[in-house]
Amino acid sequence: MTSPTDTSGTQPSDTHAAVSARVPLWRDVVVLKWVTQVFLLVVVLGAMWFLASQAGDNLRARNINTEFDFIERPVDIQLGEGIDTHPDTGGRALWTGMVNTLRLSLAGIIFATALGVVVGLARLSDNWLVRQLGSLWVETLRNIPLLVQMVFYFSILTTLPRVGLDTGPINGWLHISNKGISMPRVFIADGFYQWLVVVLIGAAVGRYVHRRRSRIHDETGADTSPVLWALGTVAAFGVVGLFVHPAFSWLGGVFGAVAGVLDALPLVVPQILLCGVALGVTATWILRFLAAHRSARGHLSLTDDDWFRVLFAAAASLAVVYLMVRWTGLSSWILNSGRDLFEVIEAKFDVDGAARPFDAMRPDIVQKGKFPNYGTNGLTMTLGFAAVFFAVVFYTSAFIGENVRGGILAVPKGQTEAALAVGLTRGQVLRRVVLPQAFRVILPPTGNQYLNLTKNTSLAVAVGFSEIVQVGTTVFNQTGRTLPVVAIWMLFYLSCSLTISVIVNWFNVRMKLVER
Amino acid sequence: MSELSSTTGNLEVPYTPPPATPHLAPREWVRANLFSTPFNSVLTVMSALILATIGRGLLSFLFNPIRQWDATATNLRLLMTQAYPEEQYLRVWVCTAVILILTGLSLAVWRAGSHVPVTKVGRNLLATGAVVALMTLLAPFSASATVQWLVAAAVVAGAGETLRRGVGMRASASGAGGSDESGDQVATISTLTLIAIALGGLVASLWVVPYGHHSYLMDRTPRVLAEPGTVAMTTKLPWTIMLLIVVAATFLGRSMRDRLPTNATRATLLVAWLLAPPTLLYLVLRDPSFDMGHVLGTDLPIFGAYAIGGGLLLSWLTRPTTGEIGRIVAAVVLVVGFCTFLTPMRMIVRIDMLMLASFALAAPTFAGGPRARRRYVTGWLGVLGVSSWLITAINTPSTVDVPGDFFIGGLSLTFIVAVFTIVVSFPLGILLALARTSTMPIFRLLATWFIEFVRGVPLITILIFFSIMVPLFLPRGMELGEVAAVVIGYALFSSAYLAENVRGGLQSVTRGQHEAAEAVGMTTGQKTVFIVLPQALRVSIPPLVGHCIGVFKETSLLAIIGLFDVLYIARVVMPNQTEFMGSTRENVLFVSLIYWIFAYQMSKASMRLERRTGLGER
């Protein structure tokens, strides 16, 4: 009973050996299974090799180059917006596009979540009219393709009035015109990083305060409101930090020293470290896996599938080791980027002592040539950005709204009734009973929506917003390197998706642990 | 109830009135639902303001005299079929008619539609009238237009009230005392009848209401002709015929369904649905001019050889007594199939060989008595015939003379891409799902990698890749149209998502089912095909319908890669016509309406299906 059951229904290996002595080879299930799999693998690899060789021939015949050299080469591209509108190299152009994509996705995720929660709650409201409004929102937006919406918003925005030197709904504060939307901007100034150090210290202290207040609450039952206390501590540090932050300018030297150490390290160190980590992790995993498949009496029973997993893990870790040893460029890249990172941080601390952490500016309008245009002071959404932003936020909010509604409906009614019966107010019931339980149901599908939103920003290519796909299209139209650009796109989006799903999964696991 | 009716496949559930809710007087209802607390009152006022603003903004946009709605009205043909030649337009109507006939027959045979109480219809009409009246007051109409619209609203509301009152009175008169509560006497009307009445009214209005006569004259200098009057004869006559056809087909199906065996009829209809898209596209719309000498001299002999040889082989392989030697023969056929790629020969020979090999490998799963064997061989002949004919048709040049690469565009292209994507990705997705849940690690690994990779990248990158790069991956002498390449991209993308939906269904099949199937001696193939998949697919119907809606919406991405789908025409082609410069907003709004109608109807249908079959309540 204690031995773990496998899923395939094949027999344990030792009895299997006895049986297979009698079963001819072509009737042995395990043999047949592996023959099929290896055959399929050969077919897949063969097909890929065939296609790749065809592509190679065709590319050579048409004189198309597939090298990544355009990353270092100068290009003649002008981008609509981003951190660098006249990039020197193809790589820099793509990097600008990536930053724009991330900017758009992050803003979209935040606003879509906020709006989605409102929509979901509206659909559950006691108020008939609010409910109808919520349904109207969801049913309209979710059934019209995102691209169509995007194009529609864009065509509306382009017909807005022209920008003048002193126009806008609120002149000097908010401008809406056919050049986009411009509003006041709060931005981080030179002193920000020193201030951040103070806040981080505050967070550590706040954590201690939180723990302490919770313990008092647990022991005495007194209402100690630990969260409020912790937040208050952080806020106090933040306020004090506005005045004392120049005291931390010496930290720059520390980061500089770290950068120096990284620069001086030989290539072997990251190689040894990463190989050690890969081998260590794999070895632990394999040992745990074997332990889990061992019965109480120590009898190990592994199916062919289990063997495959163990061997595959071992092979993968060996591949990592081989890669690290053979490809020294990787380790030097790691060292160099680490050094660069610390040097950048060092530069952030190298500021005038009196620099403010934050600053704010009002939008301005400048006239350089014939027509007035927005200056760089304000927070400006260009037309493309605004169209994509509104489209993804509205579209995703309809889906998130449905997730929120479903999650709240999934909380049994008895929970609400019981909470009301013990005397909680409606707000308390929602905050302390319903939402924590609903959150668990809401999170996984909403994480999926975040993924979708990030991928959907790629449709911005239709309205000419300079995100990665649009920039990539421009780059390959100019350099003819379609295949490398497509590869970079896919790698970029895969890592975005992976990051988001790791974050969402982390929250998911935390949520599950709370549940008993 | 739902279990029983769904297992017999009967989707028609008799109408049972919902449990009586306490009926509130209008004033009490308003108080309970809109002004129960101060906060609620504030919410009500705010939402009313928002709704009024949206309504007013939309209406003043729609009815502004500077709107170029002429652009949409004139370019309807362009939006629907792009540049399909006018003198061949009968082909388009034939396709529409075939699809409508199939729809009508299916509606009747699957007993679609339910019955709604007449009072409810009346109430809805009343509400519609009220909404129209409210909108009229919000809209920026002239006084006479306002009066006209108000009169129309009053007529609708009056009709609704009459229905409600009249039927209510009849019910209370006939149900002598207390039968109202039992709910037996509620007068109902079929939803199909309602839809037919509504469509009939719409079509009749084409003959009566002066929508305006728009046409785009393609002379030496294209110019627009817009005259007052009813719509062109080329619009109203075909649509009237189409309506008559679908109604006739529904009646035909209704009279047929009781005389014919249900399952056989349904199976025939399903096959017809499956065959309709390629047949209509490649035979009717594309009109290939077959080279009869080549067909008779090459294609038919190849088909005949495979039909006879393959039929005999499969008939022998499906004999339960054949045993291992059959498998070895099947494996040999597979190896031969792959070896054909090493020597130059016709592609169709290789494809047929591979198909025969997969049929041979699957044969033991379908082994059985003479009936089962005959059916399997017939299946092989059908698949072989259809695929041979399709390959021949695709490789034959078209006689329809159109500019551009693909012979049809607009909404038709949208539908074609959506349908072919779903048809291709369905088997692919099921295979991927099976591989991902399989106990064979290499299958699982390949499927997982593929699915996670595809789900991690945006569709547009895949489409750009396929539309640009596919020609480079093909052997010399082989060509693939851009639309076909893009459909492959769509299908690969869609299959990864579909696989995840099917996987959910596969995981919901309980372990007992697997064990029971093994206990009665089924092979893994038989277990999968006859026990696991039917249950898994049934559970995954709701997410699969949602997936189909998604595919339909994603077809709009065709516009980005520059294919002439409905969005591209509305956004790029029409605003560049000299007469309709800058009509983008109107056109895109019209396109959103088209998409919205189809997607909304599909999602509503899926919800109804879910409720009827009780799938949502597990």
The residue of B414, B436, B588 whose CB has the most chain A CBs within 10 angstroms, and thus the best one to mutate to test that interface, is B588
Can you give the pLDDT at residue A513? 54
Name every chain B residue with its beta carbon within 8 A of the beta carbon of A458.
458, 460-461
Can you give the pLDDT at residue B340? 85
In a domain, B262, yes or no: no
Can you give the pLDDT at residue A516? 43
State the average pLDDT over residues B235-241. 90
Name every chain B residue with its beta carbon within 8 A of the beta carbon of A152.
585, 588-589, 592
State the average pLDDT over residues B274-283. 88
Residues A133/B47, Cβ–Cβ less than 8 Å: yes
Can you give the pLDDT at residue B181? 45
In a domain, B144, yes or no: no
Can you give the pLDDT at residue B271? 92
In a domain, B43, yes or no: no
**CA–CA separation, B17 vs B535, rounded Å?**
31
Can you give the pLDDT at residue B170? 59
In a domain, B185, yes or no: no
Taking the CA of residue A164 and the nearest CA in chain B, the distance in Å comes to 23
The residue of A155, A392, A479, A504 whose CB has the most chain B CBs within 10 angstroms, and thus the best one to mutate to test that interface, is A155
- HEC states along B566-599? HHHHHHHHHHHCHHHCCCHHHHHHHHHHHHHHHH
Query: Residue B407 is which amino acid?
Result: F
Q: Are residues B509 and B375 in the same domain?
A: no
**CA–CA separation, A37 vs A49, rounded Å?**
18
Lowest mean pLDDT among B118-132, B362-376, B604-618: B604-618
Can you give the pLDDT at residue A306? 86
Q: Are residues B532 and B433 in the same domain?
A: yes
Q: Are residues B456 and B594 in the same domain?
A: yes
Q: Are residues B373 and B416 in the same domain?
A: no
Can you give the pLDDT at residue A139? 93
**CA–CA separation, B316 vs B339, rounded Å?**
24
Q: Which residue, B396, B425, B443, sits at the end of a domain?
A: B396
Closest CA to B416 of B280, B584, B221: B280
Can you give the pLDDT at residue B2? 39
State the average pLDDT over residues B146-169. 83
- HEC states along B47-73? HHHHHHHHHHHHHHHHCCCCCCHHHHH
Q: Are residues B390 and B408 in the same domain?
A: no
Can you give the pLDDT at residue A303? 82
Residues B120-138: tens digit of each pLDDT: 888 888 889 998 898 888 8
Residues A206-253: tens digit of each pLDDT: 999 999 999 998 888 787 788 889 999 999 998 988 888 888 878 888
For B342, the closest chain A residue by CA position comes to A50
User: With an 8 Å Cβ cutoff, are B443 and A152 in contact?
Assistant: no
Can you give the pLDDT at residue B3? 38
Name every chain B residue with its beta carbon within 8 A of the beta carbon of A27.
324
In a domain, B434, yes or no: yes
The residue of A8, A33, A94, A148 whose CB has the most chain B CBs within 10 angstroms, and thus the best one to mutate to test that interface, is A148
Can you give the pLDDT at residue A514? 54
State the average pLDDT over residues B28-33. 80
Q: Are residues B542 and B502 in the same domain?
A: yes
Q: Which residue, B370, B396, B422, sits at the end of a domain?
A: B396
The model's pTM is: 0.87
Can you give the pLDDT at residue B169? 57
Q: Are residues B336 and B419 in the same domain?
A: no
Residues B467-488: tens digit of each pLDDT: 888 878 877 777 778 888 999 9
Print the domain residue range for B506.
Answer: 63-84+402-618
Identify the residue with better confidence: B168 or A321: A321
| Sign (positive or negative) of CA dihedral B162, B168, B174, B177 | negative
User: With an 8 Å Cβ cutoff, are A127 and B33 in contact?
Assistant: yes
Q: Are residues B585 and B476 in the same domain?
A: yes
For chain A, what is the mean pLDDT? 86
For A6, the closest chain B residue by CA position comes to B439
pLDDT at A201 over 90: yes
In a domain, B248, yes or no: no
Confidence of residue A375 (pLDDT cuts 50, 70, 90): confident
Q: Are residues B430 and B310 in the same domain?
A: no
Can you give the pLDDT at residue A319? 92
Confidence of residue B64 (pLDDT cuts 50, 70, 90): confident
Q: Which percentage of chain A shows pLDDT scores above 90?
A: 35
Q: Are residues B517 and B573 in the same domain?
A: yes
Q: Are residues B422 and B551 in the same domain?
A: yes
Q: How many domains does chain B have?
A: 2
Q: Are residues B362 and B444 in the same domain?
A: no
Cβ neighbours for A292, distance < 8 A, ≥ 6 positions apart: A4
State the average pLDDT over residues B99-125. 87
Confidence of residue B180 (pLDDT cuts 50, 70, 90): very low
In a domain, B150, yes or no: no
Can you give the pLDDT at residue B611? 77
pLDDT at A9 over 50: no
For A306, the closest chain B residue by CA position comes to B441
Compute the radius of gyration of chain B from its Cα atoms: 29
Residues A463-506: tens digit of each pLDDT: 989 999 999 999 988 888 888 899 999 999 999 999 999 998 88
Can you give the pLDDT at residue B615? 53
How many Cα atoms sit within 13 Å of B520 on the Cβ side?
Answer: 9
**CA–CA separation, A83 vs A103, rounded Å?**
11
Element (H, E) at B381: helix B370-394
In a domain, B263, yes or no: no
**CA–CA separation, A405 vs A445, rounded Å?**
12
B370 inside 8 A of chain A by CB: no
B473 inside 8 A of chain A by CB: yes
Closest CA to A132 of B606, B33, B610: B33
Residues A421/B424, Cβ–Cβ less than 8 Å: no
**Chain B from 556 to 585: CB within 8 A of any A CB:** 556-557, 559-560, 567, 571, 584-585
- Parallel, antiparallel or unpaired: strands A175-177 and A180-183: antiparallel
State the average pLDDT over residues B272-295. 86
pLDDT at B6 over 50: no
Q: Which percentage of chain B shows pLDDT scores above 90?
A: 32
pLDDT at A345 over 90: no
Report ipTM for this prediction: 0.87
pLDDT at A426 over 90: no
Identify the residue with better confidence: B572 or A108: A108
Q: Which two tokens stand for residue A492?
A: 């970029």
Classify A365 as helix, strand or coil: strand
**CA–CA separation, B187 vs B617, rounded Å?**
29
The CATH label, of 3.40.50.720, 1.20.1250.20, 3.40.50.970, 1.10.3720.10, for the domain at A90-163+377-514 is 1.10.3720.10
Cβ neighbours for B49, distance < 8 A, ≥ 6 positions apart: none
Q: Which percentage of chain A shows pLDDT scores above 70?
A: 95
Q: Which residue, B371, B396, B421, sits at the end of a domain?
A: B396
